[in-house]
Amino acid sequence: MTRVQNRRRRARGGELDDCLRACAAHSGKLVGSIDRRRVELAEQLRRLLVVWGTTATTAPAPAPAAGATALLKRAVKGAATPASPIAPELLDALLAVANKALECGYDDELNLALVVSDTVLAQRKNSRAGWRLRARLLEAVGDESEALAAYEKYLELTQDDGFGVRARVAGLRIAAEKERELLNLLGRQAPRAEEFARRPATDVWAEGLAAHAVGDWTEAEPRLVGALLALAAEDAPVTERQELLSQYLDLRTAAPGGDLPALTAALALYAEQRRARMRGPVADPTIGGVQWISLGEFRNRIAGKSICLIANSGRVGASSLGAEIDSYDLVVRFNSYRIDPKHTGSRTDIHATIHKHGFNWEKQVDTRLVFGGVSGDWRHSLRNRLVPGAQTCLGDESLRWPVRNIGKVGSDVWSGIPTTGFNMLWLLDFLDVSPTLDLIGFDFYESGAYRVPEAMKLAITSVHEYTSEKDWVMQRAQRVTDMRISLR
């Protein structure tokens, strides 16, 4: 039995009360933690216990004054299983806990997340968020074959692949094939490896390292390769196989008198399978005549034109302002915007989006501005998510992170991460070349979100300073109505 299978057996969940008690017990373990990720997990666990106490049982909830301590005591003792299906609020709270546990990445938290994942799918077998969560968890613990099955189930249940799961699946399949090719190549390059592949991988690997330590690469290499072949044969976790592959190639690169062409062929396959796991196969994003535009070129494209920025808010979704929105020279929409011509209008001239999500990247627009704080991650997302021909113009590095890079507004001044909407609005205000600059439906999530269905479950994250952004807008507003804030 592999380490991944052992983990799954230890972490097996399914019963709602058992899962909730496990969450409550884990909440107690996190008291006093100074790890940022665990502190954030503790907050999600606290919220889960509050939701459990108020929505999930037929027994009376503790009085508000009792607070989290009473909820924790009640959780540890257990509570009655509800006869009715799990409440949506409880389901969302469980998913939030599991996602934070996954971000932690530690064994205890991954085990907890697996328990929650099993429970969510036991309660809602067709939960798209549950299947995607399970796939990401299984991938994190190295169980790639089961992760692929979970990703495929997610794709069966959704029409809008805003998270790029199809590309992820394709990338994992290509990576697995390239890894097999690499191991076959290593086996041919070290013919004696087969005799060691039939023994326990841990023992053989240790023997190989010992031989290398005394400078005997002739005896070290077949043992190291044999251990790699044994790990693949027993379907060891991908994370473990990748770590040892990397170590072997490091040792081989440093070994004297090596065959350079043979080493180059092995390194090329290793790089291919690593790259495929990082991102799926994508076409060249410059296909289709896309034009990269700089800050100055973007300024020239918007100069003298009336602009409206459309919020992804419930207020817009019921506004009946579609025709009026389409009357502006340029219509700007954000991230996972949803189109309902009667209410939202039908045109999108500029799509501003954070690089982390892939919603609406396939929609045809004149200009697409992709925002991101880290240049490497931003470039990675462009390669992974851009759809050739879906945009005429694409913002270059000069437009990557306007508030920080153009405005030089550091975290000491603005501690929160600027939202996509604020980056776009700040940029337009900074350029100051538009006679009309209107925000439509911006209520800073007071009326809830109005997004494509696949994105409606996304949490309103706490890393942004919505209050500060609202204050910035209102300080510059010249006219304000229920639906419109005019900055010009």
Q: For the whole model, what pTM was predicted?
A: 0.60
Check if the beta carbon of residue 17 is closer than 8 Å to that of residue 79.
Answer: yes
Of 449, 343, 352, the residue nearest 399 (C-alpha): 352
CA 126 to centroid of chain Cα atoms: 21
Which residue(s) pair with 303 in the sheet?
A: none
Residue with tokens 């249940």: 157
**Any idea which residue has 């000491």 for tokens?**
412
Torsion over CA: 307, 310, 315, 319 (sign): positive
Output DSSP code: residue 313: B
- Go through 428-451 and write b for each residue having 16 or more CB atoms within 10 A of its CB, e for each that does not: bbebeebeebbbbbbbbeeeebbb
SS3 30: coil
Other Cβ atoms closer than 10 A to 146:
17
Name, in order, each residue with C-beta under 8 angstroms of 18's C-beta and a sequence gap of 6 or more.
115, 119
DSSP state of 66: G
Q: What is the sign of the dihedral through the CA atoms of 481, 414, 95 and 371?
A: positive
Count of C-beta atoms within a 10 Å radius of residue 456: 12
- Other CB atoms closer than 10 Å to residue 254's CB: what's the count? 10
User: How much is the pLDDT for 8?
Assistant: 47
Say if CB 205 and CB 244 are below 8 A apart: yes
Query: pLDDT tens across 126-180, in order?
Result: 999 999 999 999 999 999 999 999 999 999 998 878 787 888 899 899 999 999 9
Predicted local confidence at residue 353, as pLDDT = 96
Residue 10 has what pLDDT?
45
pLDDT for residue 323 = 96
d(CA 108, CA 41): 12
* Cα R_g (the chain), whole angstroms: 26
Q: Which residues contact 68 (CB under 8 A, 6 or more apart)?
A: 46, 49, 50
Backbone angles phi, psi at 110, to 5 degrees: -65, -40
Which residues are within 8 A (CB) of 175 and not within 5 positions of it... i.e. 6 or more apart? 273, 274, 276, 277
Beta-ladder partners of 353: 370
pLDDT in tens, the chain (488 residues): 444 445 444 445 558 888 999 999 999 999 888 988 899 999 999 999 899 888 744 444 444 334 444 444 444 444 434 445 788 889 999 999 999 999 998 999 999 999 999 999 999 999 999 999 999 999 999 999 999 999 999 999 988 787 878 888 998 999 999 999 999 999 999 999 999 999 999 999 999 999 999 999 999 999 999 999 999 999 999 999 999 999 999 999 999 888 889 999 999 999 989 988 876 665 554 545 688 999 999 999 999 999 999 999 999 999 999 999 999 999 999 999 999 999 999 999 999 999 988 899 999 999 999 999 988 888 878 877 888 889 999 999 999 999 999 999 888 888 788 999 999 999 999 999 999 999 999 987 788 889 998 888 776 554 456 788 889 999 999 999 999 999 99
| Torsion sign, CA atoms 109, 116, 133, 56 | negative
